[in-house]
Amino acid sequence: MEILLNSLLWKLNNNTFTKQINHMTLLEELQSRSGNQCELCTSPNNLEMYEVPPTSTGGVDGSVLVCDVCIGQIENPETTDTNHWRCLNDSMWSEYSPVKIVAWRLLSRLRKEGWPQDLLDMMYLEESELNFAKETGEHLDESEKIIHRDANGAILQAGDSVVLIKDLKVKGSSMIAKQGTAVRRISLDHENAKYIEGKVGPTQIVIITDYVKKMSDKE
């Protein structure tokens, strides 16, 4: 029993260490790519990695190095300082897809200010980039947005994590998604408020919102 326990502890510690190493390596790659400055506003202060929701490809191609001011306003739209985002006039031309996608979403969010719409009209994204950029619905007016809610009525947003509150059979397979399974970084169906998508293991599945509960950031 003691040997088994020690083995499990070793595996747990080793996995944690590996994740830390991978995170550091990715952060270093982003620092190198960006010249150790925010890829949106060029600030060199308080930089951190931002994984682009809803279903990040992971790695450098799915992440952006941003400062605390930018990420604070990205994640909390009510704190938006419109003038701060004048910086997008430059970052929208980045050669890196995740930077362009974040810039497009922010300009779409601010488009009613006038000048962001002018920049959007000049901006070019590949079709696949544009489709991904639209996943969070920033380009839609409030009246056009479909509101997704979990089993308790909490609003779900792209990139949120949820937990299944009952066993679910996955259509087209023998797989059962068990109650208590965490589904991280969900995407939303923009035509049906009852549907979200996310990965259970390696499989991307459609989930009915009645069967999930939103997880807190600490979970």
Domain boundaries, the chain: 2-136, 146-214
Under a CB-based contact definition with an 8 Å cutoff, are residues 107 and 90 in contact?
no
Residue 1 has pLDDT above 60, yes or no: no
- SS3 of residue 34 by DSSP: helix
Residue 68 has pLDDT above 70, yes or no: yes
Counting beta carbons within 10 angstroms of the beta carbon of residue 163, is it exposed (0 to 12), middle (13 to 18) or buried (19 or more)? middle
**Tokens at residue 199, please?**
């990965």
pLDDT of 169 reads 87
* Cα 161 to Cα 82: distance, rounded to the nearest angstrom: 29
Task: With CA atoms as reference, report the closest residue to 137 among 155, 118, 115.
Answer: 155
The CATH number fitting domain 146-214, selected from 1.10.3720.10, 3.20.20.140, 2.30.30.40, 3.40.50.300: 2.30.30.40
Q: Please, what is the Cα angle at 129 between 125 and 135, to 5 degrees?
A: 125
Token pair 């006038």 is found at 114
Residue 100 has pLDDT above 90, yes or no: yes
For the segment 3-8, the average pLDDT, to the nearest whole number, is 47
Residue 160 has pLDDT above 70, yes or no: yes
Q: Please, what is the Cα angle at 213 between 210 and 217, to 5 degrees?
A: 150
Predicted structure pTM score: 0.63
pLDDT of 20 reads 45
Average pLDDT, the chain: 85
Does 86 or 7 have the greater pLDDT score? 86
- SS3 of residue 140 by DSSP: coil
Residue 63 has pLDDT above 70, yes or no: yes
**Count of C-beta atoms within a 10 Å radius of residue 208:** 12
Residues 6+ positions from 86 with CB-CB distance below 8 Å: 115
